[in-house]
Amino acid sequence: MIHYDPGVTAILISYARCSTDKQDMEANRQILHELGVPVDQIYLDRAYSGTNRARPGPDHALAAVRAGDTLVVPKLDRLARSDAEARDIGDTLTARQLTCC
């Protein structure tokens, strides 16, 4: 279990993905910027399709999130490729006392 230290400032951490090299990542970055996510807390994957489970970005983003932080994604389909995967990620976040929006 992660111990939440009230003296530690909670931060926004995000993940975004583009499925192909031709898609523009800037739209995702802009959405996350408008939501207040610091640039250094945005984890990105480019040219990883939703069917590719081995995506480093979500693993890095989830590893960076601590109790009290919030994981932000521009669209749920950018994080999970199926309802079951989204549920698994949600269960993992809940077990670690984390939130996602």
| Domain harbouring 61, CATH code | 3.40.50.1390
Number of domains the chain contains: 1
Catalytic residue among 14, 19, 49, 82: 19
Residue 43 lies in a domain: yes
Q: Which of 12-26, 39-53, 64-78, 86-100 has the lowest mean pLDDT?
A: 39-53
Contacts of 67 (CB under 8 A, 6+ apart): 2, 3, 4, 96, 97, 98
Q: Does 14 qualify as catalytic in the annotation?
A: no
pLDDT in tens, 13-60: 998 877 666 666 788 888 889 999 999 999 988 765 555 556 788 888
Cα–Cα dist 37/88, whole Å: 24
In terms of residue numbers, what domain contains 45?
12-100
Residue 95 lies in a domain: yes
pTM of the full predicted structure?
0.70
Residue 28 lies in a domain: yes
Residue 68 lies in a domain: yes
Residue 2 lies in a domain: no
Residue 1 lies in a domain: no
